[in-house]
Amino acid sequence: MEQYPNVFVFDHPLIKHKVSILRDKNTGMKQFRELVEEITTLMTYESMRDVPLEPVEVETPLEKTTQYRVPEESIAVVPILRAGLGMVEGIHKVFPTARVGHIGMYRDEETLEPQEYYCKLPEGIEEKTVFLVDPMLATGGSACDALSALKKRGCKKIKFMAIIAAPAGVRAVATAHPDVPVYVSTLDRELNENGYILPGLGDAGDRLYGTK
């Protein structure tokens, strides 16, 4: 598929290993949830490469030195409900003080178009680096609408992370929001007639929470 300067597809052996187990239909809910967290943590290291730092003075056992830290209030995580919730803890393992907001989207079963039904964001989110997360990037409709909702509420620096993506979804987000870095652990083949990713892993929300 076309190459977009704002799209980053990970090619790491550890991620490939964990994704292979994540896909397996015999992987149980507990292990599935743990794998989503672990893959998100691995992705977070790279996607936080350019977050702002501030100098701080640290006293070692030997002397004082200037070091650099990510400011405490500078990061926010916004999962797209409900499957995106499974990725939050993976980011918190890297940066536990990140604030968390929520955006609720559902897909109309007939039109496949996303509809927003809930949005609650941390105070001052317009000044933070915002990680919008969803395990699956299928048609891209929900992600595009969620990104637009964040921008409408003043967010200026947003990153989007998905574990499994279809080319159509990547294309949609990269085209509609060229200013947003898109981080994907695995790019799959295509969407089926029902808008599910192939080979995919089924419904991430159902597998995370045992609802089917």
Annotated catalytic residue, options 23, 27, 41, 203: 203
Average pLDDT over residues 53-57: 96
Which pLDDT value is given to residue 105?
Answer: 78
Does residue 64 form part of some domain?
no
pLDDT the model gives residue 198: 96
Percent of all residues in the chain with a pLDDT value above 70, rounded to a whole number? 97
For 79-92, how does the pLDDT look when each residue is reduced to its tens digit (9 = 90+)?
998 899 999 999 99
Residue 112: pLDDT band with limits 50, 70, 90:
low
Q: How many CB atoms lie within 10 A of CB 180?
A: 22
Q: Which residues contact 202 (CB under 8 A, 6 or more apart)?
A: 25, 196
| 113 pLDDT more than 80 | no
Confidence of residue 2 (pLDDT cuts 50, 70, 90): low
Closest CA to 196 of 112, 131, 126: 112
Contact between residue 136 and residue 195 where contact means Cβ atoms under 8 Å apart = no
Angle at 72 (CA atoms; ends 67, 77), nearest 5 degrees:
130
DSSP string spanning the chain?
A: ----TTEEE---HHHHHHHHHHH-TT--HHHHHHHHHHHHHHHHHHHTTT---EEEEEE-SS-EEEEEE--TTSEEEEEEETTTHHHHHHHHTT-TT-EE-EEEEEE-TTT--EEEEEEE--TTGGGSEEEEE-SEESSSHHHHHHHHHHHHTT--EEEEEEEEE-HHHHHHHHHH-TTS-EEEEEE-SEE-TTS-EES--S-HHHHHHT--
Residue 68 lies inside a defined structural domain of this protein: no
| 50 in catalytic set | no
| Catalytic option among 23, 27, 171, 206 | 206
> Which residue is catalytic, options 27, 41, 107, 171?
107
Q: Does 133 map to a domain?
A: yes
Instruction: Give me the pLDDT at residue 107, please.
Output: 67
Please identify which of the residues 111, 129, 175, 186 carries the catalytic annotation: 111
Instruction: For residue 203, indicate whether it is catalytic.
Output: yes
What is the pLDDT confidence band of residue 48, given thresholds at 50, 70 and 90?
very high
pLDDT digits (tens, 9 = 90+) for 122-174: 999 999 999 999 999 999 989 999 999 999 999 999 999 999 999 999 999 99
Range of the domain at 185: 7-50+73-209
Q: Residue 124 sits in a domain of what CATH number?
A: 3.40.50.2020
Structural domain tally of the chain? Answer: 1
The encoded tokens of residue 169 equal 């979804």
Q: What is the pLDDT of residues 100-111, one digit of tens each?
A: 999 997 767 777
Cα–Cα distance, 10 to 29 (Å, whole number): 24
Summary mean pLDDT of the chain: 93
16 lies in a domain? Answer: yes
